[in-house]
Chains A and B, each alone.
Chain A
Amino acid sequence: MGKFRFVRGAHWLLMAAFLLVLAACQRDNSSAAPAAAAPAMPLTTITALIWAPDWPDEMDKVAAAFTRLNPDIKVDVQFMIGNSVEENIRPKLASRKLPDLMSVNPNPYAAALAERGVLADVGHSAAWAKLLPSLKADWITQDGKRFGIAGGVAATVMYYNKTMFAKAGIERLPTNFSQFLDVCERLKKAGFTPIVWNGGFPNVLGNGPFSFGFANNVVPRTPDWKARIAAGTLNLSNAAGADIFAKIKLVAQRGYAQPGFMSTGYDEGINLFTEGKAAMAFQGTWAAGRMMHGQGFETGLFVPPWNDTNAAAVPVIGSETGFAVCETPNKEAAIRFLEFIMGQGFLIQQERRQNIAPFVQASGAPAGDPQIVAYLDAANRAPVTGSPYYSMLPANTIDMLHPLMQDVLFGKVTPQQAAHRLESSIRDEAKKNHR
């Protein structure tokens, strides 16, 4: 009977062993397979439309550094092209394909976007908290909405090659436009190209001779110029208005600008100065990183003397093109990116730009070049200051102004006609806004 039990159990044992062998086939291999990947972190991809003509590589590095620190957010950077921030924003706005973060100027166009709910209020960000109080006013709408953070303190200055000045025997810097022309003449006679004229990229003309012409000819005489631009009542069809364009033309007419200046773009203009091929250049403080480090010469700077003989030179100072966050589903992620740009990211762009940080000194941002710092201190103490043209004019007027200045230089339009067109454009834009 015991044997019977054994044999009976053996049937089941045999069957179980057989099934186990079948089931175990290749089981080891599968168990040796790599472990399943860890659950992926939810990823948000934000888009950034950036105006960074002189620092595209740095912007890419900022985005990459941000993603390294924030693996849950990827940034797709798209650089603006063309001649203005606004003409890049318009198609995005019209197609309702807004980026999550974008470059904006502190001008009525951007303020209007904020008032229409396109731009988010960034007033609760750390970047806003440390923004210089003197710049904050540029970034607040009439409704009190804080729509952006300045990329830096923006001032257009006249950079000059001290070596060339010395060789030309120029011992005193010009303090009015007449003296400026004399300096140009002496430089020209010394065999130097007196000044870089960016006819191919009229934005520099706008930031330079146009903004200073406006600051010296219009601002002191019309304290409520901002209100008048908004209302479309600013009178520019006069001698003061025409003089803005006349001075742009005069410098070129007298042969003080480099040959082929109407083809000179942004980068080319900087290169002409830093390579010692021109003695002076209008350029913003945002380009100090390159302008202050010329090849084999020392760079100095002074307030462009676009003033009359009997008046003090009016400096142009304001907010550099900044960053705004759009009201998109990714707003929170975009604000994190904004904080990074104005935090650790600012140091990355500073490696190249060396512009003036828009923050209070206690924020830990680098102070910048001592000459630039001293210039801005003096400018801030000036009784009257002008604003960069991109922050005061309506967007469509800016678009109109670029070819207008080129037409003046080509002689296709007289300064008087240009002043009239400018006034008309400002009036038309005000009418559009008040419809």
Chain B
Amino acid sequence: MNRLADYLSLHLLRNTALRNVALRHRLAGALLLLALLPLATSSLIGYAESTAAVRQRSGALATEVVKLVAKNIGLEMARLESDSEVLVLSDRIQDFLGDYAGTDEAKRAASRLALPRALLERYGSFDFLNQKYLLDRDSRIIDAQVFATLGDGVAQFARRAPNHFGRPYWGTYDNAAGQKSMVLLRAIYNKPANQLVGSLFLGVRPSHFAATFDDVNLGGGSAVFVLDADAGKVVIDPAERSGGAAPAAALTAELRRSRQRSGLAGYSDARQGQHLLAYAQVLDTSWFVVGVIPASQLATEAQSVRDKNVLIGMAALLVSIALALILARSITTPLASLAQAMRGIGSGSGGGNDASGVTLDGNDELTALARQFNDMAGRIEQHQLRLERRVGEGSGELAAVKARLAARSVTDDLTGIANRRRFDEVLAGELAHAARAGVPVALLMLDVDFFRHYNEAYGHRQGDDCLRRIGALLQSHARRASDLAARSGGAQFVLIAFDTDSAGALALGEAIRAALEALRLVHARSPLGRVTASIGVVSVVPDDTWSFAAMLRMADQAMVRAKERGRNQVVGARAKDTA
């Protein structure tokens, strides 16, 4: 197992980019991954669980709410039933209904006036009753003023009502304008004879029942209302007040399909999408209290839960990152100290940052390693000191040799003046200096006339001596410390004169030429009879565009023209020489 791990970590990854990553970053990454894996796993589980949990919780809550609403509506209905029972069993109503059902015209007429009045006495103050009628045995309203248009509708409702064997029946009744009433219809039986003598019709405003649950809120976008599954219509809808409408058709189909008194289901509405549906039947009616929650709302709640999880996860992640970095640094910082100490040894600056070497507290492997490293570094330092002592003994001789080598590297061996390398360095520096100072710098290029013939006639030894005398002459004309005389090669010499304009340069050149002529060095094979030189002169106030190569070229061209003009003369550079 260890071998496999070693193989994977040391060999398999040897040539990957990972090996180029600093150790502390690898450690931090490893720890971060260890923190992320469980976090990611728990987040994914939480994501899946949050939707299901929210759906389950919302569904359970909605079911309990609609059951409670159904119960409350049932209780209010029971209260109205109980109240109506007192009226219909009262001797007064029983007597009047008996009279109305009888054959005595006077009693019938009197009871026709008295029954509505009795009804008004009992229910006249009830503002939630849209309709209140006593009906005869044939379901006709006992109220002489009632018109057929209204009376027929009530009569039809009463006749269509299923036989409840004397128990109150609840149904919905629509008026001409489509407004609904929740109707309590109860048969009235004559107490002594137990014969049907009429019925009571009470139309309750839906808002009366809606008041029992219009504050119920299952969340944004949800709705609670009462649906008549037989009629397929919403009969109580608190949202009606704000112009809302419930999707009755789809709900009715779902309720008819479920055939349960209460429960939880889902349904899809073409206009508003998926919904969660909680329903509970109002006892002994075809009415269902329905709570509808849009799936989008559940998703929103689930998202809210997930958002909280994400926040917690982010906090945990940040803590993990901090811990990972601290742990990584606890390993990599000692290693970095060791590496720095090693680099110090490698560069010869010592075994550590100070005399004590690498200092670590603790008892881990790194502390032991640092201790052994310090021992090793101490031994290396002693060896180094011994070596340095030995090296120091030969350092004086070595310095003289070095000085000589340095001088030889910039001096012409034959003439003893500066060589071409030195000339190149100085000319570049002078050009830059003059450019900064804005002063002219002059370059004089001197070439000995017919020197090849001189060598042929007098031999190289005398030729070399001639060149040494010319070099000395040129050196004597370097007036300032910054001026430089150099042999640029063969029989060619140059002189750099700082802060010297063209006139000054030409004069200097003429002085050199005259001085050489004055030496009267015999040159039999020269038409002039003595050693002479042709001198090209250039003086410029350089700027950043100037290069010493250009300056050399100009001086060289001037010198060539001096040769062409007959030699032994000084010629200044022309403007076109810069081209």
Contact = CB atoms under 8 A, between A and B. Distances in A.
B220 interface: yes
B25 A36 contact: no
A39 to B, nearest CB: 9
A4 B25 contact: yes
A294 interface: no
Interface string B66-80: 000000000000000
Interface in B262-316: 272-273, 294, 296-297, 299-300, 302-303, 306-307, 309-310, 313-314
A50 B121 CA distance: 17
Contacts of A410: 105-106, 109
Nearest to A202: B113
A78 B221 contact: no
A267 B151 CA distance: 10
Contact of A15 (B133, B306, B317): B317
A56 B147 contact: yes
B313 A88 contact: no
A29 B125 contact: no
A92 interface: yes
B132 interface: yes
A91 B120 contact: yes
A91 B127 CA distance: 10
A43 B179 CA distance: 17
Contacts of A3: 17, 20-21
Contacts of A262: 105-106, 108-109
Interface string B245-273: 00000000000000000000000000011
A90 interface: yes
A22 B43 contact: yes
A339 B299 CA distance: 49
Given A57-B150, A60-B177, A410-B105, A7 B299 contact: no
A87 B115 CA distance: 13
Contact of A200 (B112, B303, B321): B112
B145 interface: yes
B125 A94 contact: yes
A76 interface: yes
Looking at A25, A27, A91, the one whose CB has the most chain B CB atoms below 10 A away is A25
A90 B310 contact: no
B478 interface: no
Given A3-B17, A53-B146, A412-B106, A81 B176 contact: no
Contact of B313 (A19, A77, A83): A19
B29 interface: yes
Contact of A81 (B40, B145, B149, B307): B145
A374 interface: no
A149 B116 CA distance: 27
A201 B207 contact: no
Interface string B134-163: 000000000111111111000000000000
A331 interface: no
Interface in A41-69: 41, 43, 45, 47, 53-58, 60-61, 63-64
B106 A60 contact: no
A15 B31 CA distance: 13
A362 interface: no
B196 to A, nearest CB: 20
Given A11-B29, A22-B47, A53-B146, A27 B117 contact: no
A403 B115 CA distance: 13
Given A79-B131, A406-B109, A410-B106, A45 B310 contact: no
Looking at B132, B221, B303, the one whose CB has the most chain A CB atoms below 10 A away is B303
Given A15-B317, A26-B306, A41-B242, A34 B294 contact: yes
A82 B296 contact: no
Contacts of A60: 175-177, 179
B367 interface: no
B28 interface: yes
A26 B178 contact: no
Contacts of B22: 4
A63 B178 CA distance: 11
Looking at A29, A74, A95, A412, the one whose CB has the most chain B CB atoms below 10 A away is A29
Nearest to A1: B22
B129 interface: yes
Given A402-B113, A403-B113, A29 B177 contact: no
Contacts of A95: 125
A19 B149 CA distance: 69
B125 A81 contact: no
A281 B300 CA distance: 70
Interface in A1-33: 3-4, 7-8, 11, 14-15, 18-19, 22-23, 25-27, 29-30, 32-33
B153 to A, nearest CB: 9
Given A25-B47, A71-B243, A79-B131, A19 B299 contact: no
B127 A33 contact: no
B343 to A, nearest CB: 16
Nearest to B271: A34
A266 B178 contact: no
A263 interface: yes
Contacts of B410: none
A55 B125 CA distance: 23
A267 B130 contact: no
B296 A40 contact: no
Contacts of B110: 403, 406
Contacts of B297: 33
Contacts of A266: 144-147
A18 B40 contact: yes
B157 to A, nearest CB: 15
A221 interface: no
Given A56-B147, A79-B150, A410-B105, A91 B112 contact: no
A64 B116 contact: no
Contacts of B241: 40, 43, 45, 74
A99 interface: yes
Q: List 6 A-B pairs, minimum CB-CB distance, nearest first.
A: A33-B296, A91-B124, A40-B242, A95-B125, A201-B144, A82-B116
28 contacts: A8-B25, A15-B321, A26-B47, A29-B296, A54-B147, A55-B147, A57-B150, A57-B175, A60-B179, A63-B177, A74-B241, A76-B205, A79-B131, A81-B145, A198-B144, A202-B113, A262-B106, A262-B109, A263-B109, A265-B145, A265-B146, A266-B145, A266-B147, A267-B147, A406-B109, A406-B110, A406-B113, A410-B105
Interface of B: 17, 20-22, 25, 28-29, 32, 36, 40, 43, 47, 51, 105-106, 108-110, 112-113, 116-117, 119-121, 124-127, 129-133, 143-151, 175-179, 205, 207, 220-221, 241-244, 272-273, 294, 296-297, 299-300, 302-303, 306-307, 309-310, 313-314, 317, 321
Given A41-B243, A91-B120, A403-B110, 6 more contacts: A34-B294, A56-B175, A82-B120, A265-B146, A266-B145, A266-B147
